Amino acid sequence: MDHVIHGDYADDPGQAFEESATAQLSALGQPGVLERMYEHPMGLISGRQIARLRMSDMVVHAWDLARALGLPEGLDQVLVTESIAVFEDVGETFTAAGFFGSGPSGMLAEDSSDQLRLLDMVGRRP
């Protein structure tokens, strides 16, 4: 997972996504990648943890895009549940680093949906 794509892709965000997705799939397909340890902004973590973080990040950004484009905002329940677990594992570290904006609001009702809980924990206020 050494290949990282950087740059300004304002002219062709579709191409930027395609390049990034291809690079990520290639990196994650390498033998032993999930078991190896990697330097990450939150410290030394496994490839499996990086893959889980990436998946959860993409779930949240799928909601961001749906909201911005006026599309249905419902997320897959299995992915939401997994993403909650991932972000609960790293929540304080990511919140302190500013990755989640303002972080959890502390204002959710006890019976809030899992999707709303996920979005709130990463600083979204739908």
Task: Indicate whether 4 belongs to any domain.
Answer: no
Question: Domains in the chain: how many in total?
Answer: 1
Q: Residue 16 is encoded by which pair of tokens?
A: 């930027």
Q: Residue 9 is encoded by which pair of tokens?
A: 């892709």
Task: Indicate whether 16 belongs to any domain.
Answer: no
Task: Indicate whether 51 belongs to any domain.
Answer: yes
| Whether pTM exceeds 0.85 | no
User: Does residue 90 or residue 9 have the better pLDDT?
Assistant: 90
Output 40-47 pairs: Cβ under 8 A, ≥24 positions apart.
41/97, 42/90, 42/93, 42/94, 42/97, 47/1
Task: Indicate whether 99 belongs to any domain.
Answer: yes
pLDDT, tens digit (0-9, with 9 covering 90-100), for 72-125: 999 999 999 999 999 888 877 776 666 777 778 889 999 999 999 999 999 898
pLDDT at 9: 59
Q: State the residue range of the domain holding 70.
A: 45-121
Task: Indicate whether 39 belongs to any domain.
Answer: no
| The pLDDT of residue 10 is above 80 | no
Distance CA 65, CA 36 (A): 32
Distance CA 32, CA 80 (A): 27
Q: Residue 85 is encoded by which pair of tokens?
A: 């677990």
27 contacts: CB under 8 Å, gap ≥ 6: 1, 2, 3, 33
Task: Indicate whether 22 belongs to any domain.
Answer: no
CA atoms within 13 A on the CB side of 13: 2
Task: Indicate whether 79 belongs to any domain.
Answer: yes
| The pLDDT of residue 6 is above 60 | no
pLDDT, tens digit (0-9, with 9 covering 90-100), for 17-69: 888 888 888 888 889 999 999 888 778 889 999 899 989 999 999 999 999 99
